[in-house]
Amino acid sequence: MLKKIFIFLCFFTVAKAQDSLRYSIDLNRLQNDRLTVNVKLPAGVKEFCFPKMVPGTYAIYNFGRFVSNLQAFDATGKALSVVRKDTNTFFLPNASKLSYEVDDTWDSPEIKGTYIFEPAGTNFQQDTLFALNTHALLGYIKGREQVPVSLQLKTPKGLVASSSLQAHNNTYTASSFQQLTDAPILVAPADTVHLRVANADILISVYSPNRKIKASEVEEQLKPLLKAQLNYLGGTFPVENYAFLIVMSAHLKNGSYGALEHAQSSFYYLPEDSISVMGPVIQDVSAHEFFHIQTPLNLHSKEIGSFDFQNPQMSKHLWLYEGLTEYAAQHMQLQGGLISLPAFLERMTEKHRTSYFSFDNSIPFTKMSKGVLGKYKEEYGNVYQKGALIGLCLDLYLRNETKGRYGTQQLIRDLSARFGPEKSFDDDDLFQLIAETTQVKGIKKFLDQYISGNKELPLKELLPTIGCELRSSDGKKEKEAILEAMNQELKEIKNPSPSQLNLRKAWMYH
């Protein structure tokens, strides 16, 4: 019996190796700010593509722009002709090996096109830092996105690589391109901390060029947050390990900063300052990013579950993925005693103000979400404003109807338990699923009116149920005051000194 199993395993391993995509990069060989990527391909490849967009960014980036000098070879080593069909697609039938050069996205002003938010990009600095969001470095085989992949990474002496994926013999392996690129790698001088919280191993890795902040200080900041997250999630984390990869910058390249979420990690690009200045920001950004382990990572529709890197389809439910995540991040901080009730209400008020003055709330939220890559691009930021307020209203509505027993916290837990990372729901079924799960009277009508409809959120009606009220103010005067404050902020951003920035307003979420 044992023998039979052994034979089967051998066969399986061989089959896997032949049908995999193997990348290798030597970080010691940085030339003209470019890295060389070598790729071994399985048989029968026709097209090799680079992502047009990646999950969590909600913007078209065309990572193929950063690729040059791509050469393809057949199994005997003979050079093949390559046709670049468009920015992201190379036609190279029967190639079995490839090599190409790739520029970093942080430091390549000569490459035109959409600015890439730093936490989604790359930075190569010999001897000091390699910020590797591998979706900006690696391509995949069109039509065979699900083949296993591996990345061999040679790192310079004195630098260590941190990622939620574990490397063996300098090689990272994953079951698909999506899984590999969902685990960014930070290569920097060692400043890492490992800690165990409940069922999860947590890695914190920090790059602070002037050593203003240490991983151990970030650890002290994150410990109470992780504890509060754990309680909020019901005592168990849905992942076994998680990495916080943090790059601090003395000169913000584009004036904005923030983070990007992944299934088991989040990548941060933040202004460099001491823990006393940056601690609260790190806490707030991490609270949001870490909550993405619930949505969309454990609860998502088909558009996200099988992500199309070339022709990404948007889901209608950004209010769930980003809005409810942001609401939960704030609600958890309140519940865990990390912020006071007045601070929580002030944050919600600020969201209401920003949503009201900066976005078009007449567009139904599901419609905006579906069209966020095109027509409604400018409205994206509202997912963190009105999206979070939708979360607040939905929570208050549910609690009201259930005498406080049931809220969004339990709703997300219940839906995640039903779906999880592998199973996607149909976009059109979500409201019905929520109605079935909650069994709350009128919930379907609530969702139809305020999320797929454009009816003004019922804050006036719901806030008094928790002893608060929505006070109206002089709209014109308030708008002038906000515009003035925004202008002042822009001036400061051009000459950024983190301690002077209004840290809560200037960062971008993802």
Residue ranges binding Zn ion (CB under 5 A)? 322, 510
Q: Residue 194: which H helix or E strand, with range?
A: strand 192-197
Nearest Cα neighbor of 334 from 240, 421, 232, 242 is 232
Strand 129-132 versus strand 265-271 pairing type: unpaired
SS3 string of 354-423? HHHHHCCCCCCHHHHHHCCCCCCHHHHHHHHCHHHHHHHHHHHHHHHHCCCCCCHHHHHHHHHHHCCCCC
Least distance CB 485 / Zn ion (angstroms): 24
**What is the side-by-side order of every strand in the sheet holding 129-132?**
122-125, 129-132, 185-189, 159-162
Nearer to Zn ion, 161 or 383 (CB): 383
Residue tagged 């949503």 (tokens)? 355
Least distance CB 120 / Zn ion (angstroms): 12
Name the H helices within 156-236: 177-181, 215-232
Residue tagged 């896997």 (tokens)? 16
Nearer to Zn ion, 138 or 332 (CB): 332
Between CA 52 and CA 309 the distance in angstroms is 6
Least distance CB 325 / Zn ion (angstroms): 5
The amino acid present at 189, given as its one-letter code, is: P
Between CA 478 and CA 468 the distance in angstroms is 21
Q: Which two tokens stand for residue 228?
A: 């509060």
Least distance CB 351 / Zn ion (angstroms): 14
DSSP for 139-166, written as a single string: -EETT-TTS-EEEEEE--TTEEEE-SSP
Least distance CB 164 / Zn ion (angstroms): 17
Nearer to Zn ion, 300 or 510 (CB): 510
Between CA 224 and CA 333 the distance in angstroms is 10
What burial class does residue 48 get, using C-beta atoms within 10 Å of its C-beta: 0-12 exposed, 13-18 middle, 19+ buried?
buried
Nearer to Zn ion, 129 or 183 (CB): 183
Interhelix angle 408-418/430-438, nearest 10 degrees: 110
Residue tagged 């890492």 (tokens)? 192
Nearer to Zn ion, 145 or 322 (CB): 322
Between CA 28 and CA 159 the distance in angstroms is 11
**What is the side-by-side order of every strand in the sheet holding 192-197?**
192-197, 200-207, 241-249, 265-271, 257-261, 507-508
Least distance CB 117 / Zn ion (angstroms): 12
Nearer to Zn ion, 37 or 318 (CB): 318
Nearer to Zn ion, 88 or 408 (CB): 408
Beta bridge partners of 80: 72
281 contacts: CB under 8 Å, gap ≥ 6: 270, 503, 504, 507
Nearest Cα neighbor of 159 from 194, 204, 185, 127 is 127
Nearer to Zn ion, 103 or 395 (CB): 395
Nearer to Zn ion, 173 or 315 (CB): 315
Nearer to Zn ion, 39 or 287 (CB): 287
What burial class does residue 158 get, using C-beta atoms within 10 Å of its C-beta: 0-12 exposed, 13-18 middle, 19+ buried?
exposed
Nearer to Zn ion, 66 or 290 (CB): 290
Phi and psi at 490, nearest 5°, equal -60, -40
Nearer to Zn ion, 322 or 379 (CB): 322
Nearer to Zn ion, 331 or 510 (CB): 510
Least distance CB 145 / Zn ion (angstroms): 24
Between CA 350 and CA 504 the distance in angstroms is 10
